[in-house]
Amino acid sequence: MIVTITVVLTCAANEAHRAVLRDAAITLTNNRRTIHVSAQGATVKVRFSMKNEAQYKAVERIRFAYHYAMPDMRDSSIRFARAPKHL
């Protein structure tokens, strides 16, 4: 499955914020080549593939991977999509 984490910050996103989400994705992904981090203004996003599992099981593990390392976080969301067959 494809996971997208979006974090809205109380300040402009910087490399430290990008690194937190990149590190979270590295611990969760089943394919490091799928990790893509972007930032614009106060929003930072990471997209990566993850082993298929029930979303309700994955949410807490995903949230724990980044939540406590983002003191400037105002809001966040986690989205799931089906992975293309070739991933």
Q: Which residues pair with 41 in a beta bridge?
A: none
What span, in angstroms and rounded, lies between the C-alpha atoms of 60 and 39?
Answer: 23
What pLDDT is recorded for position 87? 54
Please provide the average confidence, as pLDDT, over all residues in the chain.
93
CATH match for 2-81 among 3.40.50.150, 3.40.50.880, 3.30.70.260, 3.40.640.10? 3.30.70.260
Domain ranges of the chain: 2-81
Tell me the percentage of the chain whose pLDDT exceeds 70. 98
DSSP reduced 3-state for 50: coil
Q: Could you report the per-residue pLDDT of 61-79, keeping only the tens digit for each?
A: 999 998 888 889 999 999 9
